[in-house]
Structure 1
Amino acid sequence: MAEIQQQAAGGKPGKRRAKQLSTRIDMTPMVDLAFLLLTFFMLTTTFARPYTMELNMPVRPKIEGPTKVRESQAMTIVLGAGHRVYYFAGLNAPGPAAARPELHATTFAADGIRQAIRERQRRTAGLVVLIKPTAESKYQDMVNMLDEMNISRQPKYALVKITQEDLNLLKNN
């Protein structure tokens, strides 16, 4: 704790002076208390939990092969460079006889792709969204798109490899 050390007062014999007392404070108990508090708060605090995204994967079908999607129920979303999102109704079927779909460009803003998905959900029962990332798209774009599927409550969507027809459609527009 605190300790008082006395010094002998030297001086003239007839005059009394007040004694000069020196104090020394022992800091050991305060350091012990600081370490106890530090240990207590380190052990009782919860650390930041990582954010996770839950993906429900379908059961692998017994019959191998692509799943057929009707063109009237499909909506294709292409993730492009620069955080751009392109979408069109239906499928981009290969072949010269197939009509080219009308390609729309938008962003991840609330009035962008989310509004387009909700509009398509109102018009089409059993909508299936096909998400096709390009080589120039970023991983964050894919995460944003999966978030948009959860926000718009779209139950059926699939991550699909982009085809050459889709790339040609992007180049032509």
Structure 2
Amino acid sequence: MAEIDQSGGGKKGGKKRSKKASTKIDMTPMVDLGFLLITFFMLTTTLAKPVTMQLSMPDKTETKETSPVKASETLTVLPDENKVYYYQGKPGDATTVVQVTDYSDQGIRQVLFRLKKQVGQNFTIVIKATKGAKYKNMVDMLDECAITDNKRYALLEITPIDEEMIKKSGK
């Protein structure tokens, strides 16, 4: 641990000096304790758990009859990198108008709440990501479905008709 040096350190002859006591501290136990504490805190720390969203996808091998969904109860959402295009109705229909909004809480979320109030609980969101959409944009759209408490949504591939509708909208 610690020891005291008792040697006088004096030379023979000359003046005699009083003996000085020097101390020497052994740091090995302190370092051991430091590593033990580091190890303890590393092993007892709870790391952040990944946050996941439950997403149920249908089985591709199973063929099941589905009931048709009314166009008035369907909202088609086309997420892009910075914008969200959406329309209600059938794609390519003359009365269908593409509108644009963003991912903010005053954007697509308000559109979903408004449609939910008009149509009721049983409306379906069809999500078709554009070629410019990133993974984050799809996650944001799924988050909006969860926030607005909409359990009916479908993920589909974008069609050339949808791409043409976006081009015609000029937005």
| Structural mapping, 1:81-120, within 5 Å | 82-93=81-92, 98-120=93-115
Secondary structure of residue in 2 paired with 1:77: strand
- Report the CA distance shift for 1:49/1:62 in structure 2 as closer, same or farther (over 3 A): closer
For structure 1, the 5+ residue unaligned runs are: none
Determine the structure 1 residue equivalent to 2:4: 4
DSSP-derived class of the 2:34 partner:
helix
Give the CA deviation at 1:62: 5.0
Q: How far is the alpha carbon of 1:10 from its aligned partner?
A: 3.8
Identity of aligned residues (%): 41
In structure 2, the residue corresponding to 1:132 is in which secondary structure?
A: strand
Query: Residues 67-146 of structure 1: matches in 2 within 5 Å?
Result: 68-80=68-80, 82-93=81-92, 98-125=93-120, 126-146=122-142
Bigger mean CA deviation after superposition, 107-116 or 61-70? 61-70
The 8 Å contact of residues 92 and 100 in structure 1, kept in 2 or not, is answered as: no
- Residue 85 of structure 1 aligns with an amino acid whose one-letter code is V
Partners of 1:164 and 1:21 lie apart in 2 by 91
For normalisation by structure 1, the TM-score amounts to 0.86
SS at match of 1:119: helix
How much is the aligned-residue C-alpha RMSD, in angstroms?
A: 2.2
Is the aligned partner of 1:151 residue 2:151?
Answer: no
Deviations 1:91-115 (A, max 9, x none): 215xxxx324111110000110000
Q: What count of residue pairs does the alignment treat as equivalent?
A: 167
- Deviation sequence 1:17-50 (CA, Å, 0-9, x none): 3212222111111111111111111111112222
TM-score, normalised to structure 2, is 0.87
- Secondary structure of the residue that 2:19 maps to in structure 1? coil
Deviation digits for residues 106-141 of structure 1, max 9, x if unmatched?
000011000001101111131111011011111110
Q: Structure 2: 5+ residue runs without aligned partners?
A: none
Provide the rounded CA distance (Å) in 1 between the counterparts of 2:129 and 2:157: 7
Q: In structure 2, what is the equivalent of residue 37 of structure 1?
A: 37
* 8 Å Cα contact 1:75/1:91 also seen in 2: no
